[in-house]
Amino acid sequence: MVDRREVSAWRPSVPGVVEVFHAHFTEYAYPMHVHDAWTLLIVDAGAVRYDLDRHEHGTPDGTVSLLPPHVPHNGSPITADGFRKRVLYLDLSRLDETYIGPAVDTPDFVDPVLRRRVGQLHTALARPGDELEAESRLTLIGERLRGHLRPAPATRAGSGGHASAGSGGHADHPLARRLRELLDERLLQGVTLQEAAGLVHAHPAHLVRAFSGAYGIPPHQYVMSRRVERARRLLLEGGTPGEVAAATGFYDQSHLTRHFKRLVGVAPGRYRAGPR
């Protein structure tokens, strides 16, 4: 078999993400090594075995693995065809050092919701202009990971384990309204989730839940919906897709086209070319 090593890596402009790393290896085995960041790992094909703190672990289908910083580990393929993986390296602002011990004890989680969210986060991180979506998804992923690593029995509810104060309840509507006003005010230039949380004095994860509970969509979808609505008006006024993208806060024309097609059903050029 050919020793295949395909790698892509980049650093997105999302707070807390040190690196995004995608790889396809057939025979390569990692020696023992350490990182100074958290390693959040999903395997899309094949499987990986690794040693962490002198204990052997693996990544069967659907597993999300979280390897703590400063703790040596290795990694090698289990199957003949190797493995394809997607990795996020997260700094200590997302998970502090108090979670290292629990992560050593239990680094692998069979959690379909968490697995799906991590995959969605990778998709968002690969698309310039979707940083708010990526930051929102990463915030909720961090919260779910903390629930796995340090559950609080007194506050655990039936699903997902987190019974946060007023998640989606009426008490959150003023908070959600303040965030909506901020998003409207900063629609073109955008606002990071961390900045928004500071301005409205709320924890980022609680802010996302409050907004989603009040309005039925997460903040990033609200922003994109508002931008697409504005783009529709400008297209009908005769603007070109490139001009409209720049005028409505999108990263570039392809960013506008992707969201426009998702929300409207046709590309901006076809929409503008429709009946007047």
Which pLDDT tens digit goes with each residue over 92-115? 999 999 999 999 999 999 999 999
Please give the biggest Cα pair distance in the chain. Answer: 69
Do the domains 5-132 and 222-272 sit in the same CATH topology, yes or no? no
**Of 170 and 272, the one with more pLDDT:** 272
Q: What is the pLDDT of residue 264?
A: 85
Q: How far apart are CA 176 and CA 206, in angstroms?
A: 10
User: How do the domains of the chain map onto residue ranges?
Assistant: 5-132, 222-272
* Res. 235: pLDDT tops 50: yes
Q: For residue 33, is pLDDT > 90?
A: no
- For residue 249, give the 3-state DSSP assignment: coil
Residues whose CB is less than 8 angstroms from the CB of residue 189 and which lie 6 or more positions away in sequence, other chains included: 249
- Band (220; pLDDT cuts 50, 70, 90): very high
CATH for 5-132 is: 2.60.120.10
3-state DSSP assignment of residue 30: strand
Region 182-204: mean pLDDT is: 94
* Residue 155 pLDDT class (50, 70, 90 cuts): very low
18 or 31, which is more confident? 18
At residue 249, the pLDDT reads 94
Provide the pLDDT for residue 145.
96
Question: Rounded to whole angstroms, what are the CA distances from 192 to 15, 130, 134?
Answer: 9, 11, 10
C-alpha to C-alpha distance for 147 and 150, rounded to whole angstroms? 5
pLDDT-based confidence at 160, cuts 50/70/90?
very low
Q: Is the pLDDT of residue 168 over 50?
A: no
In angstroms, the CA 138 to CA 16 distance is 9
- Mean of pLDDT over the chain: 86
Mean pLDDT of 50-55: 82
Please give the CATH architecture assigned to the domain spanning 222-272. Answer: Orthogonal Bundle (1.10)
* pLDDT at residue number 1: 55
Q: Which two tokens stand for residue 100?
A: 């290292």
Which pLDDT score is estimated for 102? 94
pLDDT tier at 167, thresholds 50, 70, 90: very low
Confidence at residue 162, expressed as pLDDT on a 0 to 100 scale: 36
Over residues 27-33, the mean pLDDT reads: 75
pLDDT of residue 157: 42
Q: What whole-number percentage of the chain has pLDDT above 70?
A: 89
Buried b (16+ CB within 10 A) or exposed e, 6-24: eeeeeebebbbbbbbbbbb
Select the more confidently predicted residue: 66 or 53: 66
- For position 272, what pLDDT does the model report? 66
